[in-house]
Structure 1
Amino acid sequence: MYDEKIQLLIDGVWREGSEGKSQPLVNPATGEEMASVPHASSADLDEALAAADKGFRVWKSMTAIERYRIMMKAADLIDADLERIARLLTMENGKPLVESRGEVAFSADATRWYAEEGKRAYGRIVPGRIANQRQIVLKEPVGVVAAFAAWNFPASNVIRKVAGALGAGCSIILKTAEETPGTAVAFARCFEKAGVPAGVINLVFGVPDEVSSHLLASPIPKKVSLTGSTAVGKLLQQRAAETLKRCTMELGGHAPVIVHHDADVELAVATLAAAKFRNAGQVCTSPTRFFVHETIYGRFLELFVARVAQLKIGNGLDADTQMGPMIAARRLDAIQSLVDDAVGKGARLLTGGKSLGGKGFFYAPTVLADVPDNARIMQEEPFGPVASFQSFSTFDDVIARANATPYGLASFVFTTSGALAHQTELALDAGMVGVNNTAISTPETPFGGVNASGYGSESGIEGLEAFQRVKTVSEIFP
């Protein structure tokens, strides 16, 4: 049973939208409506802006240790409610419950990390050029944050923004995805119970274009943080430019995987199959373009397809489910179009390649071999359970192909040679590289991309600095 009431949070008050507009919340595994998601009106958004402005002044004036204590308590409350929140997440998003549990646990961990790091917003003293001069560099919270989070990771996408902003001393207006609102609501209630003052966290829903245009036209927010597509990132950056807001853009990806001739094939297959079909491939860092050395190409494909055939597809609440549904029917059509295009241009369909039918939005795990460079799926982010394979023979050739898209978020390398790993790491045009593993996201390391995958980082000290500004003070006393 879906047991979270979805409401707006504005100035410490949980409420419906003032104009009564809403949309249904649908379980992607069953197609059933679970709840109603209220939409914020323009008046509601203006109230959220005013509340965040007021909340910022209150939160900023508190000491770092006071903010730390509240955030640590919020993390404890998230942990205490982990199982219920994870079930909400699975019912909204569709991913297996084991994945949801891990994501909620990550969120509590990230909250603690940002709480701790907020106590270490160190400045510095710079020696003066004249007698009796002291030059001080201070780090201050940037101000009110307008944040937008995608539906594919309803917990971690949200918490990186909320905990990062609060750890730096900022207030926030968060618009998370209407497809997955309950996780953000549950987190906000935890922060509220922990003692976060009214107006520091504001949560709104609505038509994305209308909400973003309204919030970003206001001079109140000083910072924009987005997890979303490259197209949306470009649009929000343009809107933010009108008032010179700072931006962090965590956008799309199309991660290449390079499996060198000396790789541990069994390890690579097991690791990459798990990563490829996690969250039904709806992951911005998902391995999507597989480049396997020609000497092990056939064996790799055989083992990979065999492992894919063993995947259990179903409702994420079922204990044995390994891959759940897509988020909506529109995604089924988008994936089918990419697969049909690739096959029509000469790719070999080894398994999958179709929707599974019945209730929910399920697409079969799909493996395409010998995918030509001109297939759309080699340039467009698939964001679904499709692995596209090519073989390669030389280092220069595979690097050219790996770097051939506009994206530059994640990339992966499998080799037993430290020298070859280092050479490949330096050659890849990406913000993150995983060598013999795909676990590239932790609270303490920066997460972000380059080129069409955006700019700026979440997590790590870089993630905290994204919500800070610098002030220089020069003191001279007689």
Structure 2
Amino acid sequence: MAPTRSTTPDPQTTPSADPPRSLKPGTSWRDAWERSLAAAPEAFGDDHVRNLWDGQWQPDGHPLPAASPVDGTPIAGPPRLDADAALRAVRASLDQHRAWRHILLAERKARISATLDALTEHRELLALLLVWEIGKPWKLAQADVDRAIDGVRWYVSEIDRMLTGRTPLPGPVSNIASWNYPMSVLIHAMLIQALAGNAVIAKTPTDGGVSCLTLACALAAREGVPATLVSGSGRELSPALVRSPEIGCVSFVGGRDTGARVATAVADLGKRHILEQEGLNTWGIWNYTDWAALTPLIRKTFDYAKQRCTAYPRFVVQRAAFADFLTAYLPAVRSVRFGHPLAVAAPDDPLPELDFGPLINATKAKELADLTTEAISRGAVPLHRGSLAEGRFLPSQDTSAYFPPTTLLAPPSASPLHHAEPFGPVDTIVLVDTEAELLAAMNASNGALVASLSCDDQETYERLAPQIRAFKVGHGKPRSRGDREELFGGFGNSWSGAFVGGELLVKAVTEGPETERLPGNFPDYHLMP
């Protein structure tokens, strides 16, 4: 458990205590922990979680101190394994895989369905753990749990046709994912991989989500799903989780730097892979006049402080329309609500409906503060700089992980905010005069996952959209990862390996005809969305 961080108020950023708020009764970290301990005592100790491998919850690992980004409350950290222990876990998973791949599909469907029923029973607890561990507002945390459950249920109903003529991989699927969507990305993928006949391994993200993932995996393991959950540094665990010959496929969600190292490793080994990496997703404005429709869409882009792979941190705006754009944009950013996700004015009040809570940690908040200050010093124009005084907080709470909405015009080319995704509530705006400039600015990061283009004329959209280097392009609306039949992938440096979604997610983790070529972002092959 981590020591409590300082709560000494900063006179320049201390949030207003009017009206005074308190923690919603029954939502404290201690409440969440005791409920988790009662729900899965095999996986939770008095003050720590355990690793799951070889079908058992193991006492090994060295717990890393951790604190909630919400208010600095000490919480359980990941029990980190060393490289040798990780290798033993992978070898044990291969034994599970060899047994599981021969389990009849009807039985696999029954066990996955039973797991989904258990996840549904503990839905609110899983969501509460997400609030404390990664700072998600209550409504968004519930949505993350629900998307995982509903998405896997759809695969259970469709899996028979998807597996026709297909067999499990020779070895288990290894999952390394970022902290921001533990349920709807990581648990969702693991259960579908298991449904397809594979044992599954996951590394808990270092920055958060370990308790939520532990509870979800405990519920799955009780139903006989062959899941392995281990913690540790990427440097220590990567040789086992990426390079081990026992691994049948590597599924990665994270940043470009780490993703590039994983991509090099799997390419050298000829191993199946699904590598989702970040890109600078952009929203273009060209010959557009429906400004009233744009304002609510812009506010929606601030959900979860833009801490997601499909966030839109860059707006590329036609210079002639800039004044009208600001008239639509500024009311949206000024209406964003943020603060402590569990703070209420009265005990009977419902939990607040916030756009976002804290960033993942205080280090990230300081990084964004430094980046914006640096960009402004080099010439960027601050169009909006929110204040922590606008947030909803408990009196005198630690707010070091919070960062208010910020918008900069024309970040200089020397600034990281010009070409990289900030992964926080910071928007940058670039002005252009020609269609060529529009496309160049929207393609600044050599490939992205999503993009949007707001223009009045459908013909103009259809002409420009194919030139935008993003896997999905929306016409005047945001795009997302998608669910069920919807495909997902990326262009350029935002993605490597097989595309996913619908049948492709199952094909990526199973074997088919010898002549099969998996659709994806490979060196010599692309599937257009």
Q: Same fold (TM over 0.5)?
A: yes
Distance 1:353 1:378 in 2: 20
Distance 2:355 2:492 in 1: 33
> What SS does structure 2 have at the residue aligned with 1:313?
coil
- Tell me how far 1:339 sits from its aligned partner: 1.1
Which residue number corresponds to residue 404 of structure 1? 444
- Say which of 317, 322, 329 aligns to 1:292: 317
Q: What pairs with 1:26-37 in structure 2 (closer than 5 Å)?
A: 26-37=67-78
In structure 1, the partner of 2:271 is 245
AA partner of residue 463 (structure 2): Q
Measure the CA separation in 1 of the matches of 2:201 and 2:70. Answer: 30
Structure 2 residue 337 is matched with structure 1 residue 312: yes
Measured after TM superposition, the shift of residue 354 of structure 1 is 7.3
Residue 228 of structure 2 is aligned to residue 194 of structure 1: no
Matched, 1:234 2:260: yes
Contact 1:213 1:239 in 2 (8 A): no
Give TM-score scaled by structure 2 length: 0.81
Structure 1 residue identity aligned to 2:101: K
Gaps of 5+ in 2: 1-28, 37-43, 344-350, 390-396, 516-529
Residue number in structure 2 paired with 1:467: 509
| Structure that is richer in strand per residue | 1
- CA-based RMSD: 2.2
**1:150 aligned to 2:150?**
no
- Cα distance, 1:47 vs structure 2: 2.9
Are the aligned partners of 2:167 and 2:197 in contact in 1 as well (CA < 8 Å)? Answer: no
User: 3-state DSSP class of the match of 2:93?
Assistant: helix
- Checking the alignment, whether the CA contact within 8 Å between 2:452 and 2:473 is kept in structure 1 is yes
Rounded to whole Å, the distance in 1 between the matches of 2:326 and 2:196 is 47
- The verdict on how the C-alpha distance between 1:472 and 1:379 changes in structure 2, with shifts beyond 3 A counting, is closer
Alpha carbons 1:168, 1:467 under 8 Å: kept: yes
Contact 2:450 / 2:479 at 8 angstroms: preserved in 1? no
Name which of 148, 169, 182 aligns with 1:107: 148
Residues 298 and 333, structure 2, Cα contact 8 Å, conserved in 1: no
Equivalent AA in structure 2 for residue 34 of structure 1:
I
Q: What aligned pairs does 1:111-190 form with structure 2 within 5 A after superposition? A: 111-123=152-164, 138-178=166-206, 179-190=208-219
Structure 1 CA distance, aligned partners of 2:188 and 2:508? 11
The aligned counterpart of 2:134 is: 93
| Distance verdict in 2 for CA 1:286–1:451, change over 3 Å | same
Q: Could you report, residue by residue, the CA deviation over 1:291-313 in whole angstroms, capped at 9, with x for unpaired residues?
A: 12233322322332222222222
State the aligned residue count. Answer: 454
Instruction: Answer with 334-343 or 248-257: which moved more.
Output: 334-343
Question: Residues 280 and 444 of structure 2 are in contact (CA less than 8 Å); yes or no, is this contact kept in structure 1?
Answer: no
Structure 1 length as normaliser, TM-score?
0.89
2:360 is matched with 327
Deviation at 1:373, TM superposition (A): 4.3
**CA–CA separation in structure 1 for the residues paired with 2:403 and 2:386:** 8
Match for residue 340 of structure 1 among 373, 390, 415: 373
From 63, 66, 75, the equivalent of 1:25 is 66
Q: Which residue is equivalent to 1:205? A: 231
In 2, are the aligned partners of 1:336 and 1:354 still within 8 Å (CA)? no
Give the whole-Å Cα distance in 2 for the aligned partners of 1:272 and 1:307.
6
User: Which deviates more, 220-229 or 396-405?
Assistant: 396-405
1:7 corresponds in structure 2 to 50
Match of 1:279 in 2: 304
Query: Deviation above 6 Å: which 4+ runs of structure 1?
Result: 353-357
Measure, in 1, the Cα distance between the counterparts of 2:289 and 2:275.
34
Contact 1:86 1:100 in 2 (8 A): yes
Of all paired residues, the percent bearing the same amino acid is: 25
CA distance in 2, matches of 1:360, 1:101: 25
Corresponding residue for residue 441 of structure 1: 481
Kindly tell me: are residues 370 and 266 of structure 1, through their superposed partners in 2, closer, same or farther at Cα, counting changes over 3 Å?
farther
The verdict on how the C-alpha distance between 1:458 and 1:315 changes in structure 2, with shifts beyond 3 A counting, is farther
Moved more, 377-386 or 313-322: 313-322
Contact 1:255/1:411 (8 A) holds in 2: yes
Q: 1:56 corresponds to which residue?
A: 97
In the TM superposition, residue 77 of structure 1 has moved relative to its aligned partner by 2.0
Q: Letter of the 2:450 partner, please give it.
A: A
Contact map agreement 2:172 2:199 (CA 8 A) in 1: yes
- Tell me if the contact between 1:110 and 1:159 (Cα under 8 Å) persists in the aligned partners: no
Counterparts in 2 of 1:378 and 1:169: CA distance versus 1, 3 Å: same
Structure 1 CA distance for aligned equivalents of residues 241 and 410 of structure 2: 46
